């Protein structure tokens, strides 16, 4: 489940990234992207342990039902905690992407304002001649 949240975060970063004009390329924040990829790696590494335990529990199911139910409840609570962490990380990534987009838009607005002033000044010079 956590992987899905992190993949959603990656997708959000790509969709919210700044588009490069006349191409299908998108600019994204490298640090944020690498951070999410590192988190995915950690989840995969931790998840493989979880899968091994789950498989082992299924094989030894008949041996200790009570111990299995305690392990299961602990693993379920850990799974819930991991899912909550994934949602929190996804939220932080989205907020970071929003901040980045706001910075880019503010820069674009300032540049556009400067260009507009230059255009108006040029037109005024033409009118004065």
Query: Which among 91, 69, 3 is positioned nearest to 39, based on CA atoms?
Result: 3
What's the whole-number mean pLDDT along residues 5-33?
86
Model pLDDT for residues 57-87, shown as the tens digit of each residue: 544 555 555 566 677 778 888 888 888 888 8
- pLDDT at residue 127 above 70? yes
Rounded Cα gap, residues 33 and 10, in angstroms? 7
Model pLDDT for residues 107-121, shown as the tens digit of each residue: 999 999 999 999 999
pLDDT at 49: 54
Query: Which among 34, 35, 37, 16 is positioned nearest to 26, based on CA atoms?
Result: 16
3-state secondary structure of 18: strand
CB atoms within 10 A of CB 9: 26
């Amino acid at each position: 489940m956590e992987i899905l949240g992190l993949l959603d975060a990656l997708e959000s970063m790509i969709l919210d990234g700044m588009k490069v004009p006349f191409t299908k390329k998108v600019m994204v924040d490298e640090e944020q992207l690498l951070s999410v990829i590192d988190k995915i790696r950690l989840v995969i590494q931790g998840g493989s342990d979880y899968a091994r335990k789950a498989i082992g529990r299924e094989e030894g199911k008949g041996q200790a039902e009570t111990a299995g139910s305690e392990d299961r409840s602990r693993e379920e609570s850990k799974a819930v905690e991991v899912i909550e962490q994934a949602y929190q990380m996804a939220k932080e990534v989205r907020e970071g992407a929003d901040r980045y987009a706001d910075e880019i838009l503010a820069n674009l607005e300032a540049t556009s304002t400067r260009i507009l002033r230059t255009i108006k000044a040029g037109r005024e010079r033409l009118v004065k001649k």
